[in-house]
Structure 1
């Protein structure tokens, strides 16, 4: 009996919260092997000294783009801030064109030549592309909450998003300072947020998005207000969402509004509430996800 293939994966930008989650996920996956982890700040230190899930002597390295391309792994995950992926993509395309590149930043989410990796909505577009752009966390919640009713929209969805402060990364700022966030809710980028533009581009309808940061560490709550061009009943809306996501293992449709505390640490999306206003042309949908996993 043949065994399943083993694929080697490298991570660039492994110091951040997302890098830490990736190390944990790869360590637990039977078909993935960590080929290298690149971090300028942690170079020379053992991965196992920072991540209890990892066993072995693998060390963090400080690798430039050419050094990453020379590693010869099957896939490279770029867990870098926005605007920093270009040099690595160029080097990999030149020296190792068969390498799968997964970019977690927003740098390639608007590029038609990159597969937009939201399989619940784009699975049919995947034709073996080597370049995969990972959707944004807020953008994932918005698109999954809106899509089943997309054809019935009478105007732009209004999306009120609340994220744990891990979404603000590890570089110190007001938005990831637990002291400033205590008993607080911090609004920011209330118009033209990159995830607003991302959802507008992929759903091809204008979306209005207002993000906020909360004192909890991980997890997103997205409350979406939808005005419709037809009258609906709540039970019909729930049935529509259940049918739309019936074959999606990572989407759970609930009757009640989901709580972010129940999705934190889990790889999936919960969608619920489905409150219909008097008159039947306004529906409020709530989606939750863990921004360090499904997001």
Structure 2
């Protein structure tokens, strides 16, 4: 088995070489190169586990894309109009190549917006969920962790109880997903393997709600999820080596 953790656009020659030498090798790719390739399993286990069996080519979802899908999936059949997601990541999510977005001095007392239309994870989530998502990413001065706020519009009025129940039922029995009535804090998710979903707030007319997701972009947004996918592909318990 092999985990590829290359920058976007560099995986193809390595995959081709492995295909020639040992085509049955399990590959988990952390880049975005195969997230839109139907021949690869898109590995967000809590949402796509039923499609995993038999695949030895696995594309790991993006960190923001993971958070957005966890926020939207339980209520996607209720949604109308594009859903807006406002995300903030620590600068470890801004890549290793030096830039303003991973320069602590430039981030000090600052919040930098970037790729405000057409971000890769916006397209990724829109494809996976089958409806348009509008994503506005930002990077902040802390090192790791994502907080994602999703603004949801419904075709018909929904109650707080009905919506909360949907999330709790959807994620019941998922050890790496935790529901909270309070909005989760990004400062409490660093170095944690799980994602937290909560802070559900519903408008007076029931036609709009907001929900918050936090996760560690280096763990549940990357390495933890890769290990979940690798374990399943190798026939091991999904959480082996995680918890």
TM-score by length of 2: 0.90
State the distance in 1 between where 2:19 and 2:176 align: 32
Q: Does 1:142 align with 2:68?
A: yes
- SS state at 2:64 partner: helix
Q: Does 1:211 align with 2:211?
A: no
Q: For 1:131-174, what per-residue CA distance to the aligned partner results, in whole angstroms no more than 9, with x for missing partners?
A: 00000000000001001110000111100000000001221111
Q: Does 1:110 align with 2:36?
A: yes
Alignment of 1:84-163 (within 5 A): 84-163=10-89
| Alpha-carbon distance, 1:258 to partner | 0.4
| Matched residues, number | 221
Q: For 1:96-151, what per-residue CA distance to the aligned partner results, in whole angstroms no more than 9, with x for missing partners?
A: 11211110000000011100000111011012211000000000000010011100
Match of 1:185 among 102, 106, 111: 111
Q: Which residue of 1 aligns with 2:219?
A: 293
- SS state at 2:212 partner: strand
What do you get for the CA RMSD once the two structures are aligned? Answer: 0.7
Q: Which residue of 1 aligns with 2:208?
A: 282
State the distance in 2 between where 1:168 and 1:91 align: 29
- SS state at 2:219 partner: coil
State the distance in 2 between where 1:290 and 1:199 align: 18
State the distance in 2 between where 1:225 and 1:89 align: 38
State the distance in 2 between where 1:225 and 1:125 align: 28
- SS state at 1:284 partner: strand
State the distance in 1 between where 2:12 and 2:163 align: 42
| Alpha-carbon distance, 1:235 to partner | 2.0
Q: Does 1:244 align with 2:170?
A: yes
State the distance in 1 between where 2:102 and 2:196 align: 25
| Alpha-carbon distance, 1:78 to partner | 0.7
Q: Which residue of 2 aligns with 1:224?
A: 150
State the distance in 2 between where 1:263 and 1:238 align: 21
Q: For 1:53-104, what per-residue CA distance to the aligned partner results, in whole angstroms no more than 9, with x for missing partners?
A: xxxxxxxxxxxxxxxxxxxxxx111111000000000000000112111100
Q: Does 1:79 align with 2:5?
A: yes
| Alpha-carbon distance, 1:236 to partner | 2.0
- SS state at 1:97 partner: coil
State the distance in 2 between where 1:286 and 1:247 align: 20
Greater helix share, 1 or 2? 2
State the distance in 1 between where 2:8 and 2:26 align: 19
